Structure 1
Amino acid sequence: MSTPNLDQLTPTLQALDAADVSAPHGMPIDVFLAEAEALVALATRAEIAAKLTHVGVADARLARFEVALGAAREAQAAWTQVRSRRQTEEFEAAVADGESLRRDMLHACSWNLRRNRKVREALKFVREGDGHADLAQDLHDLASLIDNNRAAFDSDGSFDAVAVAERARGVAATLMGESASYRLRFTSAGAKEMRDRAFTFLDDLVQEVREAGRYVFRDDEEMARRFASSYWRRFEDNDVLDTEPTEPTEPEQPAEPVDVDTDREPVPAEE
């Protein structure tokens, strides 16, 4: 799964204060993204963008609007994929084989390279690793360690250094292959956090642009309405505000109450 926008924005998303990050709630995600896409198209038109920047919206913020939208889409897709993933038999077998190989390689390296202080220190980091991504990296590192110290294993008749190193690289390749790459990049918790950060960042941009647009076009009712959420307008027109998410949220993070401040639209609900 390609995530160019999310990759580009990741440093910015990771720098967000955790206290400011929240899970989406209050509006269906597909609706939120569709409205954000329409707003991006409107706000980045040259003549509109000029008016927005004239009242204080930073050029850099507008320049990131489309990337932020793409990052939110990609982060949501990643979170959906992680939640619904089903590991293939090949992947599960590679994990089991890799864990067994790592144990054998660690024991063999600890014994045959026991007099090498630098190697002993390096092996500590391998032992501390956790997760499938760490497993793949550990197999690569241990295979390289064996190759670089091949002579030290010659006297160990119980360990075929050449064959084990080659096998370790093959298992690592399976773990890090295209079919498994995204599973390894994101744990469930990590994918959810990145999804929440991407939506928080996009929602902040959406709110700023909506407010700026309504201010700029305060004397043009038709244009001002284009900067408001058509989803929430339905409830306002009927004098009703739906405070319940339209889709259930994941058990570990119940939906938060909707912000009913009329100057700020609630954050969207996840699917």
Structure 2
Amino acid sequence: MSNSEDFNALIDVIKAIPENQIRIPAIPVNVYLQEAEDLYHWAKDDAAELAKGGITAEMIEELPVRTGACREAQSLWFKDHYTSKEAKKLWDEQSPAAYDLRDELLHDFRYAFRDNTQLLGRVSEIADGTGHADMIQDLNDLAVLGRENPDPLAAINFDVTQLDTAAQTADAMAELLAQSNGDQQEGNPAKIIRDRAYTHLKQLVDDIRACGKYVFWKKPEKLVGYSSHYYRVNNRKTISVPSEESSAD
């Protein structure tokens, strides 16, 4: 099956994993997925011996399905994450102009409505507040206020097309802000599914590795296939650093 088919086949099981059992990947997911695929081939060759420790052939064949589902979930999460990063970049590029437009409209409105205490009060209310969301709301509110009171603006030769620009900018920037914040929001749906799919895969990987270590505890040439190559390499690096520093001393 394809990764998407694996994902669709297991999505209900993945979603059913209790929140308190969800595990966050401790190593890069692409590395973990490759290790899971490598483990499948080790385990398939050792199926007879692993069966003595309780790992069935069906469990081994389930491994590539869970791996495919996790890979698809990771791709969906990466797409979400990438979209968020791109939106953040666009926000950084476009938001200064939106702020400038808001400030220019406030400046124009204060002058145009200088003889109308009520309208000046509404302008002050709009200007009150800070932050990106407030700026977006300000643009929309100013567009509405300007359309409701065209005469004072016409008297100062105000460019009324700026009102449409303000409304359109508010819509565009609101969408951009939502997208750029998507990656930062707690409980991002794509990330939760990715973490659940990883947890579902990890449960089986841990079981197979534990069985392999039990069965092949006296066969180092077999045992190596049931531990993480990533951790072996990184643990070796961690151990080597102090010895280099001590020799330098």
Question: Could you state the TM-score of these two structures normalised by the residue count of structure 2?
Answer: 0.51
Q: Which residue of 1 aligns with 2:72?
A: 74
After TM superposition, give the deviation of residue 23 of structure 1 in Å: 2.3
More helix by share: 2
- Map 1:125-136 to 2 at 5 A: none
SS of corresponding position for 1:219: coil
Runs (4+) of structure 1 exceeding 3 A deviation are: 235-242
Structure 2: state its 5+ residue gaps: 87-186, 242-249
After TM superposition, give the deviation of residue 8 of structure 1 in Å: 0.4
d(CA) in 2 for partners of 1:51, 1:36: 19
Structure 1: state its 5+ residue gaps: 88-187, 243-271
d(CA) in 2 for partners of 1:230, 1:238: 12
One-letter identity of the residue aligned with 1:200? T
SS of corresponding position for 2:232: helix
- Map 1:190-229 to 2 at 5 A: 190-229=189-228
Q: Which residue of 2 aligns with 1:42?
A: 42
Greater Rg by CA = 2
Give the conservation status (yes or no) of the 8 Å contact 2:10–2:69. yes
SS of corresponding position for 2:217: coil
d(CA) in 2 for partners of 1:13, 1:241: 39
- Map 1:113-124 to 2 at 5 A: none
d(CA) in 2 for partners of 1:56, 1:213: 10
One-letter identity of the residue aligned with 2:41? A
- Map 1:183-194 to 2 at 5 A: 189-194=188-193
After TM superposition, give the deviation of residue 77 of structure 1 in Å: 0.2
After TM superposition, give the deviation of residue 27 of structure 1 in Å: 1.3
- Map 1:80-119 to 2 at 5 A: 80-85=78-83
Q: Which residue of 2 aligns with 1:16?
A: 17
Are residues 1:232 and 2:231 paired?
A: yes
d(CA) in 1 for partners of 2:9, 2:240: 36
Q: Tell me the number of residue pairs that the alignment of Structure 1 and Structure 2 aligns.
A: 140
d(CA) in 2 for partners of 1:29, 1:230: 14
Higher RCO (C-alpha under 8 Å, 6+ residues apart):
1
Give the conservation status (yes or no) of the 8 Å contact 2:53–2:211. yes
One-letter identity of the residue aligned with 1:43? A
d(CA) in 2 for partners of 1:241, 1:15: 43
d(CA) in 2 for partners of 1:224, 1:239: 22
After TM superposition, give the deviation of residue 59 of structure 1 in Å: 4.2
Question: Could you state the TM-score of these two structures normalised by the residue count of structure 1?
Answer: 0.47
SS of corresponding position for 2:188: helix
The Cα offsets for residues 115-154 of structure 1, whole Å up to 9 and x where unpaired, read as xxxxxxxxxxxxxxxxxxxxxxxxxxxxxxxxxxxxxxxx
d(CA) in 1 for partners of 2:34, 2:19: 26
